[in-house]
Amino acid sequence: AADLENKAASFNCAVAYADEETVEVFEGTVEGRLVAPRGDGGFGYDPIFEYEGQTFAELSMAAKNEISHRARALSKLASWLENGD
């Protein structure tokens, strides 16, 4: 995993809403870096994706869900559905 050390990385998510009149796409991104595996939580790339000093696998599920790329995209969708912006 030494070749993963200190490599910039990001998780990206796109969520779309469509009806007869509208198509809207909402994107969420979280920037981090690749590191040697740490932590027991999460799945997939979580042990090697570090955000602000902790890998996603080291975060609680609640903490990860607050900052994840999916949460960011869904938050934008929810805001648009509630406020139209």
CB 8 within 8 A of CB 30: no
- pLDDT tens-digit readout, 12-71: 999 999 999 999 999 999 999 999 999 998 889 999 999 999 999 999 999 999 999 999
Domains and CATH numbers, the chain: 2-83 (3.90.950.10)
- Identify the burial level of 81 via C-beta atoms within 10 angstroms of its C-beta, where 0-12 means exposed, 13-18 middle and 19 or more buried: exposed
Residue 81 pLDDT greater than 70, yes or no: yes
Residue with the larger pLDDT of the pair 28 and 5: 28
- The secondary structure element, H or E, covering residue 54 is strand 54-55
Residue (of 85, 83, 73, 79) closest to 16 by Cα position: 73
Residue 2 pLDDT greater than 90, yes or no: no
